[in-house]
Structure 1
Amino acid sequence: MDVKKLNPWNWFRHEAPQLPAVTGERGLSPQLSLLQFHREMERNFLNLARAVDMGWPHFDTARPLWPSLDITTKDREYVITVEVPGVQEKDLKLEVTADGLLTVSGEKHQETHKGIPGNTRVERSYGTFSRVLSLPDDADRDAVSAFFRNGLLTITCPRRIEAREPARQIEIQKVA
């Protein structure tokens, strides 16, 4: 089996962990238990509002703006596609650091409609976001390119083709 085809590289080792979904889980940490309690209380208040037709607005504070991404490994390049619907190209920022961190950040602005008194329900997320990816050692950081079209940011990072040193045997020394 060719280990290179498995590509075990951890792209997300420098990214802040996201809280997992907490629907019906048991034995959770205090933070997740509090988040689950918050979601249950919010759901109960919304059910009450629907029952008495109060029309309370809904703001989902438990779901941050966290764009999904796909990473494809090819023989000569890595292709990273980031979903950022509703984000303008001018509001996106892409950085590569010398130590191999690729940061995609941006901001999604809330639309305002004049003449409409208010939202009854808001399910879209707005605000700033940042995704940090650790580029593999063979990624050519100086040749990263990107293009943006229809809410998709496509980042291409060529792979360096360098002659790898063949495995060598290490001599084990005797201790006196």
Structure 2
Amino acid sequence: MRYRSFFPRNLFADLERLQREMDLNAGPAASIRGGTRGYPAMNVGSTAQSVEIFAFAPGMDPASLNVQIEKGLLTISGERKVDGVPQGAAAHIDERFSGPFRRVVSLPDDIDANAVSAIYRDGVLRVSVGRKAVAQALRIDIQ
């Protein structure tokens, strides 16, 4: 009696091909948090005193970046100029983002919109948004 498999020998090759086709048709893969990745890449974290946002945008002119807070949303926008391949030349690989961009971060309710600082250094934009003093935890001594 001859052993017969239920699956063809190249099942994994077929699955990889299907995954590549889905990636091409669906665009970039979603991140683990449910959204898609964008430009600039960002890290967002918080402490008891502030919310810290880091946007990684190397080679940008700080004057071309716009940071604003409105109704609990922090918006970072700007435009990265096209560079690299000369006009009229054929591009074989073009992996660097160029063009307008906009990233929006939802902020917690306890932020102080008047306590914001933004610093661009070494290709990283750091935006620090302070929290209201009333919202910070206060330790009460027991007597």
TM-fit CA distance, 1:105: 0.3
How far is the alpha carbon of 1:163 from its aligned partner? 6.1
1:111 CA drift (Å): 1.4
Task: Give the superposed CA RMSD.
Answer: 3.2
**Is residue 2:136 matched to residue 1:136?**
no
5 Å matches for 1:111-122? Answer: 111-112=83-84, 117-122=89-94
Deviation digits for residues 9-58 of structure 1 (CA, Å, limit 9, x no counterpart): xxxxxxxxxxxxxx8289xxxxxx6x73387xxxxxxxxxxxxxxxxxxx
Which residue in 1 is equivalent to 2:53?
A: 80
Q: Secondary structure at the match of 1:24?
A: helix
Paired residue secondary structure (1:136):
coil
Structure-1 separation of matches of 2:59 and 2:96: 10
Alignment-mate amino acid for residue 125 of structure 1: F
- Name 1:14's counterpart in structure 2: none
Contact conserved, 1:147 with 1:153, CA < 8 A, in 2? Answer: yes
Answer yes or no: is 1:96 the counterpart of 2:69. Answer: yes
- Which digits, 9 at most, give the CA deviation of each residue in 1:78-110, with x for residues without a partner? 11101112221111000111x211110011111
SS in structure 1 at match of 2:111 = coil
Q: 1:25 to 1:140 in 2, by over 3 A?
A: farther
Which amino acid in 2 is paired with 1:82? A
- Give unpaired runs (5+ residues) of structure 1: 1-22, 27-32, 40-62, 165-176
How far residue 154 of structure 1 moved from its aligned partner, in angstroms, is 0.1
Q: 2:19 aligns to what? A: 24
2:11 is aligned to none
Aligned equivalents of 1:149, 1:163: Cα separation in 2: 30
In structure 2, the residue matched to 1:37 is: 25
**Could you tell me whether the CA contact under 8 Å between 1:65 and 1:125 is conserved in 2?**
no
Greater strand content:
2
- Once the two structures are TM-superposed, the CA of residue 162 in structure 1 deviates from its matched residue by 0.8
Structure 2 CA distance for aligned equivalents of residues 101 and 138 of structure 1: 12
Secondary structure, in 3 states, of the residue corresponding to 2:109? coil
Equivalents in 2 of 1:155, 1:104: separation in Å?
10
Identity among equivalent pairs (%): 30
- 3-state SS of paired residue (1:157): strand
Tell me the equivalent position of 1:3: none
- Indicate the residue corresponding to 2:5 in structure 1: none
- Check conservation: 2:110, 2:135, Cα contact below 8 A: no
Which residue of structure 2 aligns with residue 127 of structure 1?
Answer: 99
User: Which secondary structure does the structure 2 equivalent of 1:162 belong to?
Assistant: helix
DSSP-derived class of the 1:144 partner: strand
